[in-house]
Chain A
Amino acid sequence: LAKTTQPISMDSYEGQEVNITCSHNNIATNDYITWYQQFPSQGPRFIIQGYKTKVTNEVASLFIPADRKSSTLSLPRVSLSDTAVYYCLVGVYNQGGKLIFGQGTELSVKP
Chain B
Amino acid sequence: DAGVTQSPTHLIKTRGQQVTLRCSPKSGHDTVSWYQQALGQGPQFIFQYYEEEERQRGNFPDRFSGHQFPNYSSELNVNALLLGDSALYLCASSRETSRDFGPGTRLTVL
Contact = CB atoms under 8 A, between A and B. Distances in A.
Contact of B103 (A42, A46, A97): A42
A46 B98 CA distance: 10
A101 interface: yes
B96 A99 contact: no
B99 A96 contact: yes
Query: Mostly helix, strand, loop or mixed at chain A's interface?
Result: loop
Interface string A75-105: 0000000000001000001111111111110
B78 interface: no
Most chain B CB atoms below 10 A, which of A41, A43, A95, A98: A43
A72 B40 CA distance: 22
B103 A94 contact: no
Interface of B: 4, 31, 33, 35, 40-45, 48, 56, 58, 88, 90-92, 94-97, 99-104, 106
